[in-house]
């Protein structure tokens, strides 16, 4: 029985992966690193800000102590909030998907490598913030996806409302390989949506299913939730 759904955020709720690329590229350029969109997609998509900056600096043999790393993260965060407030785009079917899942009695949460302020901004602008029990964001975890820490914390968060919830009763929805791997490692079912990677690439991570969009995801979950209650 599916009793809860955990959403990724970037590339799944909000269509901002290109914005993140531009902002990462902007900050890395100050360190003499040229980040192309292909390199970002192939190497860094799926990392949180700390992971992306840390790995990119290491990949290019650039020294990066904690002070510099935090400076890069903070500068990017400020630029994101400045830019995104007036330009955020959301994936088609988002509000309908969330409304349908909530109406079906499913508990909803977000697990993201984004900063909490960024996630809150997106949920508030899209008008769906009140549908979610809570958010697990970058500040809440020591390790980013594909590590399952974030999803395990999301499970703990939902258990505050549903104490007997099992990991196998949770479905995550993801757009990245790292996200699919993280959700599976936490014991969740996970459905991929090909917003950031093609279907065949997502299938390499062996999700429970790949569906074309959020409306199809809502169909997938509700069909299985209803069947398990029948």
Which pLDDT score is estimated for 45?
A: 87
Which pLDDT score is estimated for 173?
A: 99
Which pLDDT score is estimated for 9?
A: 97
Report the CATH number of the 17-84 domain. Answer: 1.10.150
pTM confidence score: 0.90
Which pLDDT score is estimated for 226?
A: 66
Which pLDDT score is estimated for 229?
A: 60
- What is the Cα 23 distance to its own chain's centre? 17
Q: Where in the chain is the domain with CATH 1.10.150?
A: 17-84
Report the CATH number of the 4-15+88-229 domain. Answer: 3.40.50.1000
Which pLDDT score is estimated for 227?
A: 55
Spell out the per-residue pLDDT of the chain, length 230, in tens.
Answer: 999 999 999 999 999 989 999 999 999 999 999 999 999 999 998 789 999 999 999 999 999 999 999 999 999 999 999 998 888 999 999 999 999 999 999 999 999 999 999 999 999 999 999 999 999 999 999 999 999 999 999 999 999 999 999 999 999 999 999 999 999 999 999 999 999 999 999 999 999 999 999 999 999 999 998 655 64
Integer Cα distance of 220 and 75 in angstroms: 39
Which pLDDT score is estimated for 142?
A: 93
200, exposed or middle or buried, with CB in 10 Å at 0-12, 13-18, 19+?
A: exposed
Q: Where in the chain is the domain with CATH 3.40.50.1000?
A: 4-15+88-229
Which pLDDT score is estimated for 17?
A: 87
Give the long-range contacts of residues 153-160, CB within 8 A, separation 24 or more.
153/111, 154/6, 154/109, 154/110, 154/111, 154/186, 155/186, 155/188, 157/109, 157/133, 158/4, 158/6, 158/107, 158/109, 158/133, 160/133
């Amino acid at each position: 029985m599916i009793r809860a759904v955990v959403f990724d955020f970037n590339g799944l709720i909000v269509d901002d992966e290109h914005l993140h690329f531009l902002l990462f590229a902007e900050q890395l350029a100050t360190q003499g690193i040229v980040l192309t969109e292909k390199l970002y997609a192939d190497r860094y998509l799926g990392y949180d800000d700390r992971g992306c900056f840390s790995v990119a600096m290491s990949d290019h043999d650039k020294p990066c102590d904690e002070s510099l790393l935090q400076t890069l993260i903070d500068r990017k965060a400020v630029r994101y909030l400045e830019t995104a407030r007036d330009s955020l785009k959301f994936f088609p079917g988002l509000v309908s998907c969330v409304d349908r899942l909530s109406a079906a009695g499913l508990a909803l949460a977000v697990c993201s490598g984004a900063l909490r302020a960024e996630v809150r901004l997106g949920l508030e602008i899209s008008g769906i913030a009140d549908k979610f029990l809570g958010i697990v964001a970058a500040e809440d975890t020591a390790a980013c996806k594909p590590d399952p820490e974030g999803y395990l914390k999301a499970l703990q968060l939902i258990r505050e409302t549903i104490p007997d919830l099992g990991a196998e009763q949770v479905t995550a929805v993801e757009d990245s390989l790292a996200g699919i791997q993280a959700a599976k490692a936490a014991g969740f079912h996970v459905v991929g949506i090909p917003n950031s990677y093609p279907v065949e690439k997502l299938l390499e991570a062996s999700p429970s299913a790949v569906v074309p969009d959020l409306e199809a995801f809502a169909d997938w979950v509700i069909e299985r939730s209803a069947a398990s209650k029948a």
